[in-house]
Structure 1
Amino acid sequence: MASIDVFNHQIPAEPDFGYSQAIKSDHLIHVSGQLSLDEAGDFRHADDFAAQLKQTYANFDKVLNHYGATRNQIVSQTLYVVNLRQNATATAEGNLAYFGDHRPVSTVLGVPELTFPEQVVEISFVIDTKLPA
């Protein structure tokens, strides 16, 4: 039987919406859409794509740290981007800055809106802890 380990940022949205930030089952970790929230769960960096992307990846790093995983073990990411054509270059630049030489599979979807009115990016991930760190 696979063991399950659940991770949360301990912010109000998690119990209010009934979800977890990440669940590890055996060697795979599935991570909910990360976004630009601070430690208290308040949305930050309204309408600033680059700042939201940076905060989103920083929040995801907390998930990696919890599981002792590294960016090299990320196998997949899905980015949801408002105004994709306008934010395509910043999306690519942020992605390259975050991953360096690592190349997980990636899907980028242009969406009309996200949870918060000023939110312009959200990213979900899959991590395989059996891969070399």
Structure 2
Amino acid sequence: MTVKPRTFRFGVPWEDAYGYSQALQAGDTLYVSGQLSHDAAGEFVGAGDFELQMKTTLANLDLVLAHFGATRGQIVETTVLVRNLRENFDTTARLHAEYVGEHRPTSTVLGVADLALPDQLVEIGALVRLDVRA
């Protein structure tokens, strides 16, 4: 059986410039691209404020999940890319733990030298299984 993938886009300029979707559903698996801190108009949020960027990034992840009728409890893996990881690790860990609550997906945290936007400090991708009971 062939499955036609469903995609989701925010309509932000970098989706066309880079040629990607925010998420792609193939069967019961949802692949979520790295989310970042931006508002509905595609304006970057939180320059110089790691905690605000992390919270806004997670809120954008929630918007992607909601589009597919998914919940945080269906996330099976997160990948968190962080600039200045040593400086921002405790905040990353605290906010990630608050976000997932009692649910414990797998997660990889990587310190990176740079991200796509000049003021961007964090990016979070996810793998979601829609057939997992949340």
For the criterion TM > 0.5, the same-fold answer is yes
Distance 2:101 2:126 in 1: 17
Partner in structure 2 of residue 46 of structure 1: 47
1:3 is displaced (CA, Å) by 2.7
Aligned-pair identity in percent equals 47
Q: What value does the CA root-mean-square deviation take over the aligned residues?
A: 0.8
Distance 2:24 2:125 in 1: 12
Distance 1:117 1:3 in 2: 36
Partner in structure 2 of residue 63 of structure 1: 64
Deviations 1:65-88 (A, max 9, x none): 000001000000000000000001
Partner in structure 2 of residue 25 of structure 1: 26
**Unaligned runs of at least 5 residues, structure 1:** none
Partner in structure 2 of residue 108 of structure 1: 109
Deviations 1:45-84 (A, max 9, x none): 0021100000000001111100000100000000000000
When normalised by structure 1's length, the TM-score is: 0.97
When normalised by structure 2's length, the TM-score is: 0.97
**Unaligned runs of at least 5 residues, structure 2:** none
Regions of 4+ moved over 2 Å: none
